[in-house]
Amino acid sequence: MTTLVVDGLRRRFGPLLVADDISFRLDAGRALGVVGPNGAGKSTLLNLISGALRPEAGTVTLDGRDVTARSADERCRLGIGRTHQVPRPFTDLTVFENALVAAGAGGGLRRTAAYRAASAALDRTGLRKYANERAGRLPLLDRKRLELARALATGPSVLLLDEIGGGLTEPELRILIDTVIGLRGAGLAVIWIEHIVHALVEVVDELLCLATGRVIAHGEPSAVLGSREVREVYLGEELEEGIAG
């Protein structure tokens, strides 16, 4: 069973502490939502897990293997896949070619295995019918799906999602939520950063709230959303929306 363990992660940017002793574990088939105000350190946390950033202290362990010293490319091959907040497809390549590049260059898969992984990623994200479209021509929902498909094509056991719900309509969001529920059901461990709290609450088993790089609450979603400290850092708006939704 895949287990991601994050232990005591710490990172600063200049004088600013953006990850302050962050620890948690996540098993296969579980989903963790990460919330927190702008600048809380959510994307930084994903970057520390994916290897885009190195911590000053702390470790990231995947299936009992310490990957802290591994590069982002190596971690991707070991099973940590991610999406980016701003989708970055190769706009001149087709949707299938984008997934194929991710399977090969990101996942380290070759030939038939890469084709299979790319093809499965398009099926899981509902993009099969656009396989031969140029990625640059896709509307927003499908660009988000392609970002997800590219992460899936790398063959992850841990999937890191960075605000893939932003800018979508409610029906589009519904499709995305169902897709992520399916991925978790298929045994992936999912970490999803999202400002749209009601979407997160439908998918995740636990929530973690960050503020100024520190975990201020972590646990069952309704308990986290009900906590006074969490409500104080949000000062209302997004969180009220989340609870109402």
Ligand X SMILES: Nc1ncnc2c1ncn2[C@@H]1O[C@H](COP(=O)(O)OP(=O)(O)OP(=O)(O)O)[C@@H](O)[C@H]1O
Comparing CB distances to ligand X, the nearer of 67 and 208 is: 208
Binding mask 10-49 for ligand X (x = CB under 6 A): ---x--x-x-----------------x-xxxxxxx-----
Comparing CB distances to ligand X, the nearer of 72 and 113 is: 72
Q: Quote the CA–CA distance of 154 and 81 in Å, as a whole number.
A: 7
Comparing CB distances to ligand X, the nearer of 36 and 106 is: 36
CB of 167 to ligand X, least distance (A): 14
Task: For residue 191, give the nearest of 174, 210, 175, 173 by alpha carbon.
Answer: 210
What b-and-e string marks burial along 124-151, b requiring 16 or more CB atoms within 10 Å of the CB? Answer: bbbbeebbeebbeebeebbbbbbbbbbb
Q: What is the DSSP letter of 102?
A: I
Binding mask 42-81 for ligand X (x = CB under 6 A): xxx-------------------------------------
CB of 1 to ligand X, least distance (A): 29
CB of 159 to ligand X, least distance (A): 17
Does 84 interact with ligand X (rule: CB under 6 A)?
no
Structure tokens belonging to residue 76: 């991707």
Q: How many C-beta neighbours within 10 Å does residue 71 have?
A: 12
Q: Quote the CA–CA distance of 66 and 61 in Å, as a whole number.
A: 4
Long-range contacts of 233-240 (CB under 8 A, 24+ apart): 233/36, 233/37, 233/40, 233/209, 234/37, 238/195, 238/197, 239/197
CB of 111 to ligand X, least distance (A): 37
CB of 213 to ligand X, least distance (A): 7
Comparing CB distances to ligand X, the nearer of 117 and 147 is: 147
CB of 133 to ligand X, least distance (A): 29
CB of 41 to ligand X, least distance (A): 4
- Could you tell me how many residues of this chain bind ligand X (CB under 6 A)? 11
Comparing CB distances to ligand X, the nearer of 155 and 242 is: 242
Comparing CB distances to ligand X, the nearer of 14 and 171 is: 14
Comparing CB distances to ligand X, the nearer of 19 and 180 is: 19
Instruction: Tally the C-alpha atoms within 13 A of residue 166's C-alpha that lie toward its C-beta.
Output: 14
Task: For residue 77, give the nearest of 44, 40, 114 by alpha carbon.
Answer: 114
Q: Are the C-beta atoms of residues 46 and 193 closer than 8 Å to each other?
A: yes
Binding site for ligand X (CB under 6 A): 13, 16, 18, 36, 38-44
